Structure 1
Amino acid sequence: MIRSRLFFRLFSAILAAVALFAAAIYVFSVPLIEEKAYEIELNASRTILDNVFVMTGKIDVSLEDRRAMTVESYKAQLRNVVSLAASYLDHVFARADKGEISEAEARRLAFDGLRAFKWGNNDYIWVTDYNSVIRSHPDPEFQGRDASRVQGPDGRAILPTIIAIAREKGEGFHTYPWQRLGETRPSEKLSYFIDMPNRGLVIGTGAYLDDIDREVERRKAEAVEDLRQALRNIRIARTGYVYIFDAAKTMIIHPNANIEGQDFGTRIDPATGRPISEELMAAADSDRPLTYLWDKPSDPGNYAYEKISWVRHFKGFDWYIASSVYVDELKRSSAVLGNRLVTIALALMVVAGALGYLAVDWLTRPLNRLAETAEQVQAGNLDAQSGIRRDDEIGLLAEALDAMVRRVKDDISTLDTRVQERTNELEEAETRRRLILDAIPAAIAYLGRDEIIRFVNRGWAELVRQDAAELIGRDLRSAIGRFAHAAIQAHMERTWAGEEVTFTYSFPHPDGHTVTTRNTLIPQLAANGAVTAMFVLALDISAEKATETQLMEAQRMKAVGQLSGGLAHDFNNLLSVILGNLAAARDRYAEIDGLDSYLEPAVRASRRGADITSRLLAFSRQQPLKPQPVDVSALVREVSVLLSRSLPSSITITIPDEGGECWAIADANQLENALINLALNARDAMPDGGRLEMDVRLRRVTDPLTFDEQVEPDDYLEVRVSDNGLGFAPEAMTRAFEPFFTTKRLGSGLGLSMVYGFVKQSKGYITLDSRLGMGSTVTILLPRAAPVAVEGEAEEAAPSPSLWQGQLALIAEDDADVRAVLRGQLVDLGFSVVEAESGDEAADLFGQIEGLSLVVSDIVMPGMSGIELAGRIRAERPSIRVILISGFSFDTSPEADDLVILRKPWDRSDLAAAVARTTEPSDAA
């Protein structure tokens, strides 16, 4: 058996003592034994201190690892949230790029949606443009604000720095102080952001570092408490212990709870006169113990007892870890042992050698075992135990060492438990993230390279009408069906090649309608650039598609209206020439017998043509209107009286009660014509009789409502005309408001188109509800008006042509035939006439002609318009009267509100009345 060097030293000393006599034994062996025992006790104290230091280091490493894991977890969350928000922005702006919505509407939808989005600990998404103007932020203080001057503690502007990083690298992290929502004090914030160069925006989100630090500090406090409990149970020798204080000399851990938290810097060493804390800090990690004077619990206040401490500085927490034991306790074991050996040597000198051998072996074996155990523990084997069971100091030391190792192991196990608890907390956080993804108004899925579904949110599961839990682990083909899979296969292959793909896909819903989705496939790239998986983002755009179809229909009707208006304008010019010449022929050749029998049918035909052009202008929203407050209930009652005399007795007319007044802004004559047209259509749809209902009521629109187009929220007057006649076939419903379209054997097809144009020109809305064989209902919404008093109109006396005999008039008209008719009628009224072919020519003439009293001008002409010409005349020669001629409805400027307008086609009496009206202001003057 190989013995240690300590064994041979002790045994040799015993043999020398026996040989040299008892005195020699006392002189040479006892001091050596005392020294070695003292050294062993002292080293044991140091070993315990080293183990506590190692345990503290593991706590620090565990906390740093937890902090790193927490920071990386937050960064992963930030990337995921920003990626989803960017996909949402791209989706909304893509609609604007395709013309589905305006750029302004896209920005409103995108920024309002992101401003309402919250995640984590009340964290949010922010968006800024390249000029540091915050476009989306949940805090009203920053919404729309130019934040280019907001600086961090280093004096650098925060947003310009973030924008510079994003535009240079495309993405990045940046830490800066920023206040939480609802708080004014800024906190350190870690933000992740990406550049969207095609939109000129930078989008990002962040988490506050004090959330991370708070979690780490909480774990540190728990670890310190666990360490405190462990150290309170550690004893060195009989009353020795381990304690910890920080660089501020505050006692962190001490077996005496009353000392914890106290200022340790006030304790003075009587031997040196220096604070004991400074001496301990100076001795830290110097590989030498510190001896100082202290009192005892049995003799308090008497600082005369030597204590010895090993000190180590733990830089991670800036702690000083120290052992503390009385010197006389360390020496007690060696003194007892030396006295026993001397007694044995004196009494049994013969057997001293044998007893010395046994004693040394008995002494060194457990010490070697303790040393081996300490080395194993120092190497990291926390299962190592000395196994020594003795009732002496070595036994106490062995038991203390074994207990300390077990406690360290238990503490590490506790740390592992804490780590598991934190893992569970992270899993709960994952559950919260899933709830967030389920709440997003979009369908989201995640596919592996093998097209196996790894994740779906509730929206995607509802889209395919399956349970989300059952979809996980299934292949995409079985989940959506082979026909749908074949339809999107080409798009998926492009995504597996690394391309982000957006496409639309339509499929029938079980309730009968068609569902249309816009799908975005986003590849997930590995570090080597290979595509390992893909994200699927699907949005239900069925309603948008329906709105798009409705908008196209409205645009088609507008285009037809513009064509009809142009035809009506040209036709009005022709009718003006025809009616003017027919009237002139009748006046000039009245004495020719029988001529009037030919002229009268031509005049009637021309006036029917004028009525057709009026209907075309009504459809094209170009008819002249005089919108004013109208009591629609009274108007409906008057129309019902007229209809009761002309409709067959087999048709029953139902109208509103006499009670309420319902006022709207409209042209009363055109509204009456519209009601009569609807009633006549209902009559034709009920050849065998039936029921005609006219209902008027007030209606407030607050929620989205669709008529011929989207109805703006406001107060309206609703007019409803219903019948129980033949109704419209589905194919006729789509063309009901088109001009010249009719389902009757005879008819112009302009009735409903005139009603449609009048409603739209009156800034109203119209809809037709009809089923074949079940009748029809036409509903009109008109702008509501407040009730007003109605005044009667004075009758105008016919003017006498002699009033204008010898006066000079200037005609501005680009159509030569119309100009000729106008010239003849003015001459018949007594005027001398000068002609101009355009507004520019008339502008040059009126300033040069002396005695000019009247200018008659068309409104629509090449170059200067009639409105512009009238304004110039008023500015330069206000004494000249002006008459404007038009077949269109037009919006005059405020300066031209009192101009006299002559509508095409006209006859000479209309022209005479218009000239008479121009004289009224001067007469009044």
Structure 2
Amino acid sequence: MVRSPLFLRLFSAILLTLGLFSSAVYLLSVPLIEEKAYEIERDASRTILDNVFELVSKIRGGLEEQRTATVESYKTRLRDMVSAAAGYIDHVHSRADRGEITREEAKRQVAEGLQALRYGSDGYIWATDYQSVILSHPSPDYQGHDKSDLRDNTGRYILPTIIATARREGDGFLTYPWWRPNGDERAPKLSYFRDLPQRGIVVGTGAYLADVDAEVERRKAEAIEDLRQALRNLRIARTGYLYIFDSANRMIIHPNANIENTAFGTLVNPVTGKPIAEELKIAAARGEPLTYLWDKPDDPGNYAYEKISWVRHFQGFDWYIASSVYVEELRRSSVVLGNRILAIAVALMLTGGVLGYVAVRRLVGPLRRLADTAALVRAGDLNAESGIRRDDEIGQLAAAFDAMVGRVRGNIATLDSRVRDRTAALEDANTRLRAAVASQDTARRALAEAEARQRVILDAIPASIAGLDCAERLTFANRRWAELVGRSKAEVIGQPLAAIVGRRAHATLSPHLDRCRAGEAVTFEYSLPRGGRTLITKTTLIPHTGADGAVAGLFVLTLDITDEKQTERQLVEAQRLKAVGQLSGGLAHDFNNLLSIIIGNLSAARERYAGVEGLDAYLEPAQRAGRRGADITGRLLAFSRQQPLKPEPIELCGLLRDMAVLLRRSFPSNIAITVPGEGPDASPPNVWTIADQTQLENALVNLAINARDAMPDGGRLDIAVARRTVMAEGVADSPPPDELPFDEPVRPDDYLELRIRDSGSGFTVEALARAVEPFFTTKAQGSGLGLSMVYGFVKQSRGYLRIDSVAGRGTTITLLLPRAEPAPHRADTAPPPPDALDSGWRGTLALVAEDNDDVRQVMRQQLVELGFSVVEAASGDEAAELVEQIDGLSLLVSDIVMPGLSGIELARRARRLRPDLRVVLVSGFSVESGEPPPDTVILGKPWDKRDLVAAIGRIGDPAKTPAATA
């Protein structure tokens, strides 16, 4: 076996192949792997350096953010202290205004009180008049002296600059050098000041910026210490490390604590003779690593070991961040890896040789036995067998050879028997063929029955289905598709599509048909006239591919989506009107603030200058314009659904009869008005709804006036009421299909349907589409807010609106309002008289919380005129702090919508602290921030002084309901 030529050739080839493969793998891979491993280790040190650089950048960014936050914190504290001081000054001078103390006593109390108001380590409050005479200062060198000649480093006068800025802008900040307490050194100081024009005083306070810098430096030192600890624990390879030095070559951070804070510039590169620090800076500027020779801890003084350093310059701190690692440590892992690859290659060669020997021997032995058996068969011995039993290819070859010899032997003996068996098999096949033909006939009949059932199903489903061939001839159509084109199924089958739908429609459909023939499924919408109305259909074209992959025809699926499109249009219109309403509500809120300022100042001017001849002729029209503006903002709030409402049960027919009496008196005699329950035999239905009665009356009057304007030559105005119940499927007793739907789908509930129908000129199609938009009108003179107010009131009352109109044939406006159960009649309570304010409140202290400075000034002035001493707050949070700090508060007047705490939250907190405190909340919106505390009055914007007096007078009245509206 060993001397077999085949064995020797195969085994030699295997050994040669293994040797060449192992050598090639080693020579081609090991040097490359060693170099790549070195580059990976080297780049890893640079990556670590980059991460530390990013960390230092974040430390710098955090310090800048900390400085900014610290400065803002100081500014906030300065504003708070000046606000408290201003309130105190105003309180003391108010006592002088009322005659309780003299003006000189007031000045003395202000000076002493401000000198006693100290905070922090050296914070104090100062005050000066407009002539730079300091009225209050903790230092006797300044108290009562004229300090207009004080200048900063640039020669700018300090106090005159502060006074001019305060009188021009109301308040402000200024940075200037100032002496530290108990010291001769001047340091930058940030001061905040505010003008008190009614007192002729500028009050302010300040803080030294050095305190801010000290805080930032402390944070920087803590961050550097954290960075130092992190770098000391960081290693590159085995002994490599990171260190940081500054531009002055002073070591900032180093793993060796003894080197930190020492001069780094004295160390010299032994190869170049230049300072190693300067070479590191040059490497940082070039963005390249620096390679140099250095010693080792275990071999000091022997500068024969190659080192590599990456350096980056961080300009924020003027630092140089560097890495340092021995090159041989970076290459150590690549050398170890190459030796391991060599060992693996040698082991593979040895293992391959042994396995090759065993494999070749196992292969050659059976082949030799098979060759001997073949020689016997060739000699004529048909009973010879190889005797080989294996499960591999050689075993299969031996078994096939033995089987072939056996088949030759068997074929000679059994040829006649196989001919007879073949004849019997042919007869059996003929019998199965006849049975298959019979089965095919049965399947054909079943297929015909299935097609008939399919046609019935396709005709019954609620969709239009058709089939087209590539020439656009109809190969199939169900009953609904034929009805859609106005034909019968027999008339459309086999006809061209253009002949069925018409040339104009076919021209519109052709681009979609071409895309489908190109193999694309296409979906599109198409409108067509049917029965006097327009149907909107959604059609899907699906390509039908044949066996060769080409498009052989088209399937057509068409759905009627007219109702879906109508519902979608209603929802889009409702969303559009809601967006316009939100914009209108925001405008109305801002105008309410402006009108509050205008009306309040006009009223104050009219009272104060009543004796000026001819002035009233100018103020009266301005006041009427202000009240007209208030009416317009009220209508805008109604449209935006943000007006304050008082919903209550209302007997609708009685309300309509009372309104009819007033309308007939003011309408022309050629306009007939009818309402439910009128006439000798009429019995009015007892129907109740939930709504704000005043707003409902305003809405009905607006609709009646619009109807009157639409009938200049006379006509009829009919108002009808009916009960409606909306089920889940739709509206019971629903209107005819040709009438317009409501503005949005109606929720299932019980409703009252209120119809206002006139015989006037009606709306055009364009005007009807914009009927409820604010400021849109078809009248020559009109605000365009009538129908907008009606729409907003209906939506805020959880109702629905529909407008049916044809130009020249009149208009019908239908309102759906929630139905209510009958309620007992309640007697109206008369509002309190304007002089309900108790004179005992004069001289008491009131707190005004309002974020708008001008509105707050109007409220403050009116309260002062009523005898109150007033403290102001510009936010809910500031007001809450004053409630806690100031004793003797008797009245709180607060806006509802403010930054921070809302007015309602402020009222609740104030009531918990001071249960006897009287509260008036001011807003132009409906109360949506929560339920106000009991015995709280809500004053609507805009207001005048009489409204304020009435609101304060209502507080504590047992006859009023909680949270009454003034």
Q: Please report the TM-score for the alignment, with normalisation by the length of structure 2.
A: 0.50
Aligned to 1:707: 742
> Structure 1, residues 761-781: CA drift from partner, whole Å, max 9, x if none?
211112222233322222111
- Does the residue aligned with 1:810 lie in a helix, a strand or coil? strand
1:461 corresponds to 2:496: no
Counterpart of 1:605 (choices 622, 625, 635) is 625
The CA distance in 1 between the partners of 2:493 and 2:548, in whole Å, is 27
SS at match of 1:583: helix
Query: What CA deviation, in whole Å up to 9, does each residue of 1:284-314 have, x standing for no partner?
Result: xxxxxxxxxxxxxxxxxxxxxxxxxxxxxxx
2:802 corresponds to: 767
- Equivalents in 1 of 2:684, 2:615: separation in Å? 55
Q: Which residue of 2 aligns with 1:909?
A: 946
Are 1:686 and 2:723 an aligned pair?
Answer: no
CA distance in 2, matches of 1:874, 1:428: 85
Paired residue total: 525
1:671 to 2:708 alignment: no
1:447-486 matched pairs, under 5 angstroms = 447-486=468-507
Equivalent residue runs for 1:158-173 within 5 Å: none
Aligned twin of 1:716: 751
Residue deviations 1:767-815 (CA, integer Å, cap 9, x gap)? 2222333222221111111111121122243322424223322212122
Secondary structure of the corresponding residue to residue 656 of structure 1:
coil
Structure 2 contact 711–759 (Cα < 8 Å) conserved: yes
Aligned to 1:856: 893
Shift of 1:594: 4.4
Query: Does residue 636 of the first structure (1) align with residue 656 of the second (2)?
Result: yes
Corresponding position: 1:445 with 2:466: yes
* Structure 1 pair 529–674 and aligned structure 2 pair: CA distance change class (3 A): same
Question: In 1, are the aligned partners of 2:742 and 2:801 still within 8 Å (CA)?
Answer: yes
SS in 2 for 1:850: coil
Aligned to 2:538: 518
Structure 2 residue 523 is matched with structure 1 residue 498? no
For the residues of structure 2 that align with 1:425 and 1:825, how far apart are their CA atoms? Answer: 97
User: Which residue pairs with 1:571 in the alignment?
Assistant: 591
With over 3 angstroms needed to count, the CA separation of the structure-2 counterparts of 1:417 and 1:862, relative to structure 1, is: same
**Does the C-alpha gap of structure 1 residues 497 and 648 become closer, same or farther in structure 2, counting only changes over 3 Å?**
closer
**8 Å contact kept, 1:654–1:694:** yes
**What code does the residue aligned with 1:873 have?**
A
Distance 2:773 2:634 in 1: 15
State the partner residue of 1:560.
Answer: 580
Q: Distance in 2 between matches of 1:555 and 1:516?
A: 23
Task: Return the offset for 1:576.
Answer: 1.0
Please state if 1:580 is matched with 2:600. Answer: yes
Show the counterpart of 1:790: 825
Letter in 1 for 2:574: A
Give the secondary structure class of the aligned counterpart of 1:869: helix
The question of 1:865 aligning with 2:865 is answered: no
CA distance in 2, matches of 1:494, 1:725: 52
C-alpha distance in structure 1 between counterparts of 2:706 and 2:831, whole Å: 36
Please, which runs of 5 or more residues in structure 1 have no aligned partner?
1-370, 383-407
Is 2:778 aligned against 1:743? yes
CA distance in 2, matches of 1:424, 1:381: 24
- Contact 2:634-2:643 at 8 Å conserved across structures: yes
Distance in 2 of aligned mates of 1:912 and 1:864:
26
Q: CA deviation at 1:419?
A: 6.5
CA 532–418 in structure 1, closer or farther in 2 if over 3 Å, else same = closer
Name the amino acid aligned to 2:644. P
**Structure-2 residue corresponding to 1:844:** 881
Structure-2 change in CA distance of 1:474 and 1:683 (3 Å): closer
Cα distance in structure 1, aligned partners of 2:762 and 2:492: 49
Report the Cα distance in structure 2 between the residues aligned to 1:729 and 1:636, rounded to whole angstroms.
29
Rounded to whole Å, the distance in 2 between the matches of 1:629 and 1:442 is: 49
Distance (Å, rounded) in 1 between the aligned partners of 2:960 and 2:551: 88
1:653 to 661, 673, 691: 673
Per-residue deviation at 1:451?
Answer: 3.4
Instruction: Give the aligned partner of residue 800 of structure 1.
Output: 837
Could you tell me which of 547, 565, 588 is aligned with 2:567? 547
Q: Structure 1 residues 497, 813: CA separation in 2 closer, same or farther (over 3 Å shift)? A: same
- Residue of structure 2 equivalent to 1:811: 848
The residue type equivalent to 1:829 in the other structure is L
Residues 429 and 639 from structure 1, CA distance in 2 versus in 1: closer, same or farther, beyond 3 angstroms? Answer: same
Alignment of 1:227-306 (within 5 A): none
Q: Which runs of 5+ in 2 are unaligned?
A: 1-419, 678-682, 732-740
Structure 1 contact 626–667 (Cα < 8 Å) conserved? yes
Q: How does 1:84-483 map to 2 (within 5 A)?
A: 378=427, 420=441, 423-483=444-504
Question: What's the CA shift for 1:678?
Answer: 1.6
Query: CA 1:915–1:484 in structure 2 vs 1: closer, same or farther (change >3 Å)?
Result: same
Tell me which amino acid in the other structure corresponds to 2:757: S
Match of 1:56 in 2: none
CA distance in 2, matches of 1:567, 1:829: 31
* C-alpha deviation, 1:671, in angstroms: 0.8
Give the Cα–Cα distance (whole angstroms) in 1 for the partners of residues 959 and 576 of structure 2.
Answer: 48
Query: What letter is aligned with 2:777?
Result: T
Where in structure 2 are the equivalents of 1:15-26 lying within 5 Å?
A: none
- Contact 1:801 1:829 (8 Å CA) reproduced: no
CA distance in 1, matches of 2:553, 2:460: 23
Task: Compute the displacement of 1:617 (Å).
Answer: 1.7
Structure-1 residue corresponding to 2:554? 534
Q: Secondary structure at the match of 1:847?
A: helix
- For the Cα contact (< 8 Å) 2:832–2:953, is it kept in 1? no
Cα 1:748–1:379 shift into 2, 3 Å: closer
Aligned partner of residue 955 in structure 2, secondary structure = helix
Change (3 A) 1:924 1:505: closer
Amino acid at match of 2:750: D
Provide the residue aligned with 2:918 in structure 1.
881
What is the one-letter code of the residue matched to 1:562?
Q
Shift of 1:669: 0.8
Tell me the CA shift for residue 606 of structure 1.
Answer: 1.7
Contact 1:801 1:830 in 2 (8 A): no
1:815-837 Cα distance to aligned partner (Å, 9 max, x none): 21111110011222332211112
Runs of 4+ in 1 over 6 A off after TM superposition: 374-377, 415-419, 921-925
State the AA in 2 paired with 1:624: P
- Say which of 477, 489, 494 aligns to 2:510: 489
The percentage of counterpart residues that share the same residue type is 59
The amino acid of 1:860's aligned partner reads: V
- 2-side partners of 1:535 and 1:867: how far apart? 65
Change over 3 Å in CA distance of 1:679–1:490 after alignment to 2: closer
Q: Distance in 2 between matches of 1:644 and 1:898?
A: 42
Which letter maps to 1:493?
Answer: D
Contact 1:801 1:912 survives alignment (8 Å): no
CA pair 683-481 structure 1, distance change in 2 beyond 3 A: closer
Q: Is the 8 A contact 2:526 2:536 kept in 1?
A: yes
C-alpha displacement at 1:528, in angstroms? 5.8
Q: Deviation at 1:478?
A: 3.3
The alignment partner of 1:790 has SS state of coil
CA distance in 2, matches of 1:499, 1:924: 70
The question of whether the paired residues in 2 share the 8 Å contact of 1:694 and 1:719 is answered with yes
- C-alpha offsets along residues 320-355 of structure 1, whole Å, 9 cap, x if unaligned? xxxxxxxxxxxxxxxxxxxxxxxxxxxxxxxxxxxx
**Aligned-pair CA distance for 1:923:** 12
**1:745 & 1:922 partners in 2: Cα distance?**
47
Task: Judge conservation of contact 2:649–2:823 (CA < 8 Å) in 1.
Answer: yes
- 2:86 is matched with which residue? none
TM-score of the superposed pair, with normalisation by structure 1:
0.53
Letter in 2 for 1:518: K
Residues 883, 889 of structure 2: 8 Å contact kept: yes
Q: What is the CA–CA distance in structure 1 between the aligned matches of 2:453 and 2:912, rounded to whole Å?
A: 73
Q: Is the 8 A contact 2:838 2:953 kept in 1?
A: no
* Paired residues of 1:802 and 1:829 also in contact (CA < 8 A): no
Q: Is the 8 A contact 2:954 2:960 kept in 1?
A: no
What's the offset of the Cα at 1:545?
2.5
Instruction: Give a deviation string over 1:488-547, Cα, whole Å, max 9, x none.
Output: 3333333333332222223x3143433322222223345664433332222222222233
